Amino acid sequence: MLTVDTAAAQTFRLAPSAESEPPADVLAVIAAVNAHLIAAHGSLWDGGLFVSDHNHGDVTSPGSWCLAFEGAYEWPWNFTEAQHANRTVPASVFIEPGTGWWLGVHPA
């Protein structure tokens, strides 16, 4: 069984353009994505996920967030597929792979 460092699972860089900190359900998705990336790659690099709100450009709907992690291409699709088998993100969000390096998190 994989043991994930709780501090590492909460690691992310917030975009300067963000109007606020991510809400609790988005923080839960960040922790789940980080745990997925740590399990797949052994560690996070470059400060972990880059997290932005609708002001950054990849997602444009207010209340939506974008989780970006470059260098581990296809992780958004792999993470989303894993959620179909064993959902670990809150039911209050809808996740959407945007490209091979970012995941959209939207209010459900």
Model pLDDT for residues 12-70, shown as the tens digit of each residue = 888 998 999 899 899 999 999 988 988 888 877 777 889 999 988 788 899 999 999 98
Q: Is 83 helix (H, G, I), strand (E, B) or coil?
A: helix
Task: Compute CA 21 distance to the chain's CA centroid, rounded to the nearest angstrom.
Answer: 14
- Rounded CA separation 54/69 (Å): 17
The per-residue pLDDT for range 64-103, each reduced to its tens digit, is 999 999 878 899 999 999 998 999 899 999 999 988 899 9
pTM of the model: 0.87
- Using alpha carbons only, give the angle 79, 85, 91 rounded to the nearest 5 degrees: 75
Q: In what order do the strands lie in the sheet with 93-97?
A: 12-14, 49-53, 65-68, 102-107, 93-97
Whether the CB-CB separation of 8 and 44 falls below 8 Å is answered with: yes
Amino acid at 34: N
Taken in order 95, 73, 98, 59, is the CA torsion positive or negative?
A: positive
